[in-house]
Chains A and B, each alone.
Chain A
Amino acid sequence: MTLSFAFDLLLALALLWSAWRSLATPDLTRAVVMFIVFGLLLALAWARLSATDIALAEAAIGAGLTGALLLDALGAWRRAAKDDES
């Protein structure tokens, strides 16, 4: 078992773990953060597959922009819930 294969395996496990956490963790904010972590790990996986173009796009769009959208939506929900209470 070579070192690079071990790294690939570790990365694949980390991907699956972060994906699982983003669905299973009870706190929504933490779920979104785990999803951003997943996006960054996926960018690493693309780099391992020598797909540098996709790695760049994934880090900027998949993790960055999607993460910003999700966090913004979450914030808006929280604010709406607070408005409803008051």
Chain B
Amino acid sequence: MTSGLVFALAGVLLFVLGLGGVVMLSHALRRILAFNLMGSGAFLVLVGLAQRDGGVDPVPQAMVLTGIVVAVAATALALALVRRLHGAHRDD
């Protein structure tokens, strides 16, 4: 078993863990955490699967690199929306 395969399988478990968290957790911050876990799991599958026979594949690596930066932007936007939501609730 290569490291690629090990981390691809770990990525699947992380993705499912995150998915379960997004569905089941009630606090918004936890959901954002769970959503990030889903993303990280998908990244691990993407790179791990391409490198399961031990080679190095720059194409999924470059895509995951862009993905990480987009994930932080999505997180920040989600936090901004949640804060706005809290503010709206408080004003009621």
- Chains A, B in direct contact (C-beta < 8 Å): yes
Taken together as a complex, chains A and B put the C-alpha atoms of A75 and B36 apart, in Å, by 20
For A53, the chain B residues whose CB sits under 8 A away are 61-62, 65
For B21, the chain A residues whose CB sits under 8 A away are 23
A37 within 8 Å of B (CB atoms): no
Interface mask (A8-28 → B, CB under 8 Å = 1, otherwise 0) = 110010011001101100001
Contact of B33 among A5, A23, A65 (CB under 8 A): A23
Interface mask (B48-76 → A, CB under 8 Å = 1, otherwise 0) = 10010000100001101100110110011
Q: Majority SS of interface residues in chain B?
A: helix
Taken together as a complex, chains A and B put the C-alpha atoms of A76 and B90 apart, in Å, by 14
Q: How large is the interface on B (under 10, 10 to 19, 20 to 34, 35 or more residues)?
A: 35 or more
Taken together as a complex, chains A and B put the C-alpha atoms of A47 and B64 apart, in Å, by 14
Decide: A23 and B34 in contact? CB cutoff 8 A: yes
Within the complex, the shortest CB–CB distance from B87 to chain A, in Å, comes to: 8
For A74, the chain B residues whose CB sits under 8 A away are 29
Q: How many residues of A contact B (CB 8 A)?
A: 39
Closest B residue to A51 by CB, please name it: B61
Decide: B47 and A28 in contact? CB cutoff 8 A: no
Decide: A80 and B7 in contact? CB cutoff 8 A: no
Indicate whether A16 sits within 8 Å of B14 (C-beta atoms), given known contacts A28-B27, A62-B71, A70-B79.
yes
A40 within 8 Å of B (CB atoms): no
B44 within 8 Å of A (CB atoms): yes
Decide: A9 and B6 in contact? CB cutoff 8 A: yes
Closest A residue to B63 by CB, please name it: A54
For B69, the chain A residues whose CB sits under 8 A away are 57, 61
Decide: A49 and B7 in contact? CB cutoff 8 A: yes
Indicate whether A23 sits within 8 Å of B37 (C-beta atoms), given known contacts A12-B10, A45-B7, A61-B68.
yes
